[in-house]
Structure 1
Amino acid sequence: MAVVCVDAGTTMIKAVGYAPDGAELAVVRRATEVARPEPGHAEQDMASVWHAVADAVRAVTAEIGGGVDLVALTAQGDGAWLVDGDGAPTGPAILWNDGRAAPIVAGWAASGVLEEAFRVNGSLTFAGLPNAILTWLREHDPDRLARSAASLTCGGWIFSRLTGEIAADGSDASAPFTDIARRRYSDALLGLYGMEWARRLLPEQRGDDRRAAPLTAPAADGLGLPPGIPVVLAPYDIASTAIGVGAVDTGQSCTILGTTLCTETVVDAPRLTGEPSGLTVAMGLPGRYLRAFPTLAGGQVVDWACRLLGLFIPADLAELAARAPVGADGLVFLPYLSPAGERAPFLDPHARGAFHGLTVDHEREHIARAVLEGLSLVVRDCLSAAEARPTELRVSGGGSASPVWLRMLADVIGVPVVRSADSEAGARGAFIAGLLATGRAGDAREAADAYVRPGDTYEPDPGRAAHYAEAYQDFLAVRTATASAWPTLADLRARGA
């Protein structure tokens, strides 16, 4: 028998076939489009995402020759994927990296709502969370809200197409309406945001022991799978990826070098004190949470730099960066390039990127190195915000294919960086979650030891690590100085609109 696992990312759908022993049998990928109908908006056609998932599952099932007896899925989180009473979309999905609700979030921040909510929820609201998006829709598209019966995430949407059930995984539902210590929706949080009216849109939260539902006959017929086999709604992508790289014990840390640059640390209880920052996510494992810091701009910064420098693929950027000296001859890059600003490890919808120290002496290789150093310093910044002290950093995602970047990251963080040997660590995590949910594996640590595949390890160089320890302080100082100009730049953009 075999297991098919889906990882529905923001720009790519991945379907992976696994043998019962965890051997990877086949991988199929299908690209998806993100529409940006207006500046700061990020949307996806929900039907198109489902069709891409179905096509990938059909293809991987055919490649492994059938015999599938379990499906597990993970997906991008946050956003608002609204459906009506029949489970049909009421419009395009509004994604996690959409920035249209930034003024709403700014108002909550100014009034103290965000800090008060953090003390209950453990996550700092940003424009791509459903509280902000639904409030924006109430102001700008109330008819769509009236036609909607549930606000799902991408994983919940796909699960509904496979099983006919409307539900949310506990990780997906962690922010923004959940009392994270009690693991249930909080009427107090809804009231704090002035959103009592949204209670009817919140799907049932499935506990860690209720992740599975049977595949419906219509879905099975369309996918070429047996009807009735269990479909497991695994934790959403950042949590599944942590599981997939083996970060399941308290104190372990990992980073996803993907569309988002997500750095996360496993903790045994929510931390609701201190400066509000990042997300607290129920990991889907007993007594385990993630302090997660997913940036709004990660891999897309690498793609932007490639376009800027006339390069074809990210590997070209890393090769070019390797030609420049450590520190890029004083060139400092702030990689806050998302039109929605930044959400991790700080929240500022006005945050913008910049090169500092640029002179005519700097060449293309300096720019390339400054970009990768800036992104690496953000990872260090996120670990600092999490108060993490890892002995190693496990990494996955497209960026982990670059030895140049991983060596740099080890130097910047100052601990060994361990690359996942899996082509799709999120799918691997969904596989493990599927085994746990269906009783095919017992303990998460034992399952990780049995099925996770670590790859190459990159050790930090002591000399370069010492340089980057100082460079990190310089990075923070440059950001602090630059941040004072962000409101002025926002005013300039507003006047130019």
Structure 2
Amino acid sequence: MMNYYLGLDNGGTLVKAVLFDQNGRMVNRASEKLTMLTPAPGFTERDMDELWAANVRVLRTAVEKAGPEIAAQIKSVACSGHGKGLYLWGKDQRPAYRGIVSTDARAVDFADRFNSDGTIEKTFATNFQQILASQPVSILRWLQDHEPHVLANTQWIFECKDYIRFRLTGEAFAEITDYSGSNLLNLRERRFDQDLMATFGLGDLYRALPPLKHSTDICGFVTPEVAAQTGLPTGIPVAGGMFDIDACAIAMDILSDDKFCVIAGTWSINGFISRQPVNDHSVMMNSIYALPDYYFIEESSPTSAGNHEWFIERFMSEEKQLAETRGISVYRLTDEMAASVAPKDHDIIFLPYIYGSNYNPRAKACLIGLDSSHTRSQIIRAVMEGICLGHRVHLEKLLAHKKPRVIRLAGGAANSPFWVQLFADIFQLPVETLESSELGALGCAMAASVADGQYQDLAAASRAMVRVSQRYEPQIELADLYERKYKRFRQFSEQLDALWE
């Protein structure tokens, strides 16, 4: 009899409940757009009760779609969620505050202070991380100064998916991949560290950190109340789950250091796994990976396919109407337009900084080199090339430490064969895409299958549940052309930096 596993993915904009069979085949999915609250400039929040209600609704829809026979064979659940941000649970058994999303910037002054007053020199030796405004340490310090009563009432410090798992089970745990990106964890010893928290001025909050668990650990069981609300079987185990980047990487079979993970969505996520952290300040982030004894070495910025979507929404209304007339998506139409232009037939450079850059948060997007001869097709190709070139900036920093035999690509760009080939040509490395379109949820389902005992470990789950869809080889004859474009991209970006101050 077939067993089924449910992945619950809470991202930056959507919550998705996706049901898979034990072979990794998607049975059905349900999703809902989440409401973002912006009560002040730089604030991005969610009502925590409404977030839980949205999770209940998508779970119920997915279970109902499956039907009673399949629903009875759902053996385990796991959650993934956006990293960073902050979700506080109160001593009065209610949310202690609104959920704070990873795009929140209220604590930027605290992050700047930590990065300039010597704090980072004290903390880097144990956590190998930059200090970001979106991390819990910065947000907690902001709350300490601005709303101390909130922290006085706080029982548990949660990340997004750990809060949802708590509501599923009634048991509080901290899953290690998520918290390892928070600056709250001693990565060297893989434990919470009261001295580290004291360095940030947060020593008193050590009491509010839940016990640590791993991705495939059982972290409780679906309560009768939740079962009645969702249709899930009562008492099935809920696995620890993982940070959404880890979930995608696990579902991309990133189980050895000879493959790089690239996620081209709103954010440009680029990384590889290693048994040792990179501790020379040359990469943005080290975090603990879902695979035991590995770190995830990450380079990232908000410079990826979100720029493409923004450009289409703002400037391509005619193309949207034409695509509708033809019965195709506007993304397929823009792929056709870009593919009609040979790479040598334009010299436009696009800097994909619509949402800033992690190197300079004040950087702005630019189209450089336009003249009266340029067409919309050339411009949209330049936008897509610029996003790939932005990924390559991150990739070059990673390549200084490790060269892969292949890139595994996910995110919105992976749905476009033209764009995937562009990545291969600009990276001059083979690029593979995956069969599943719901990688974050699949990674959760894989963790759930291990927690249930269906598979011995994530490697065994990967062999059964992950399949490559297609492989794209780089066109070697384009290497010199894209090398020149990459050098111009870097020159323009660096020379413009002084203008953004």
- TM exceeds 0.5? yes
Alignment of 1:221-232 (within 5 A): 221-232=228-239
1:56: Cα distance to partner?
Answer: 1.3
Per-residue deviation, residues 272-330 of structure 1 (Å, max 9, x unmatched): 1243x322121122112211223234343222111222244444443333344426722
**Correspondence for 1:404 among 403, 409, 418:** 418
How far apart, in 1, do the equivalents of 2:357 and 2:107 lie?
13
Partner residue, 1:71:
77
How far apart, in 2, do the equivalents of 1:183 and 1:223 lie?
35
The aligned amino acid for 1:131 is V
How far apart, in 1, do the equivalents of 2:86 and 2:34 lie?
17
On the 8 A contact 1:121/1:180 being kept in 2, the answer is yes
1:198: Cα distance to partner?
Answer: 3.2
TM-score between both structures, scaled by the size of structure 1: 0.91
On the 8 A contact 1:380/1:412 being kept in 2, the answer is yes
**Correspondence for 1:202 among 205, 209, 212:** 209
1:86: Cα distance to partner?
Answer: 4.3
Per-residue deviation, residues 255-288 of structure 1 (Å, max 9, x unmatched): 122232211211112221243x322121122112
Per-residue deviation, residues 35-83 of structure 1 (Å, max 9, x unmatched): 3333333222222222222111111111122122211221111101122
How far apart, in 1, do the equivalents of 2:365 and 2:93 lie?
40
Q: 1:304 to 1:209 in 2, by over 3 A?
A: closer
Partner residue, 1:41:
43
Partner residue, 1:156:
162
How far apart, in 2, do the equivalents of 1:252 and 1:452 lie?
14
The worse-fitting range, judged by mean Cα deviation, of 27-36 and 77-86 is: 27-36
Give the total of aligned pairs: 481
How far apart, in 2, do the equivalents of 1:367 and 1:72 lie?
42
On the 8 A contact 2:34/2:54 being kept in 1, the answer is yes
How far apart, in 2, do the equivalents of 1:169 and 1:463 lie?
46
Residue 98 of structure 2 corresponds to residue 84 of structure 1: no
On the 8 A contact 1:4/1:61 being kept in 2, the answer is no
1:419: Cα distance to partner?
Answer: 0.8
The aligned amino acid for 1:100 is R
Partner residue, 1:381:
393
Residue 357 of structure 2 corresponds to residue 342 of structure 1: yes
Q: 1:317 to 1:200 in 2, by over 3 A?
A: farther
On the 8 A contact 1:393/1:415 being kept in 2, the answer is yes
Q: 1:203 to 1:366 in 2, by over 3 A?
A: farther
SS at match of 2:157: strand
Partner residue, 1:491:
none
**Correspondence for 1:179 among 173, 186, 201:** 186
Give structure 2 stretches of 5+ with no counterpart.
Answer: 321-329
Per-residue deviation, residues 396-436 of structure 1 (Å, max 9, x unmatched): 22221111211111111111111111020111111211222
The aligned amino acid for 2:308 is V
How far apart, in 2, do the equivalents of 1:407 and 1:115 lie?
41
Alignment of 1:24-423 (within 5 A): 24-65=26-67, 66-67=71-72, 68-175=74-181, 176-208=183-215, 210-275=217-282, 277-311=283-317, 312=320, 313-326=330-343, 329-338=346-355, 341-343=356-358, 346=359, 348-386=360-398, 387-423=401-437
Q: 1:357 to 1:104 in 2, by over 3 A?
A: farther
The root-mean-square deviation of aligned C-alpha atoms, in Å, is 2.1
SS at match of 2:178: coil
On the 8 A contact 2:6/2:444 being kept in 1, the answer is no
Q: 1:161 to 1:299 in 2, by over 3 A?
A: farther
Q: 1:255 to 1:106 in 2, by over 3 A?
A: same
How far apart, in 2, do the equivalents of 1:262 and 1:70 lie?
29
On the 8 A contact 1:269/1:289 being kept in 2, the answer is yes
How far apart, in 1, do the equivalents of 2:97 and 2:30 lie?
28
How far apart, in 2, do the equivalents of 1:405 and 1:309 lie?
20
SS at match of 1:171: helix
How far apart, in 2, do the equivalents of 1:172 and 1:333 lie?
33
Give structure 1 stretches of 5+ with no counterpart.
Answer: 488-497
1:395: Cα distance to partner?
Answer: 1.2
Q: 1:109 to 1:100 in 2, by over 3 A?
A: same
How far apart, in 2, do the equivalents of 1:51 and 1:376 lie?
38
TM-score between both structures, scaled by the size of structure 2: 0.90
How far apart, in 2, do the equivalents of 1:114 and 1:211 lie?
34
1:238: Cα distance to partner?
Answer: 0.2
Q: 1:482 to 1:114 in 2, by over 3 A?
A: farther
The aligned amino acid for 2:196 is L
Instruction: List, as ranges, runs of 4+ consecutive aligned residues in structure 1 with deviation greater than 6 Å.
Output: none
SS at match of 1:330: coil
How far apart, in 2, do the equivalents of 1:294 and 1:201 lie?
29
On the 8 A contact 1:155/1:233 being kept in 2, the answer is no
How far apart, in 2, do the equivalents of 1:384 and 1:41 lie?
33
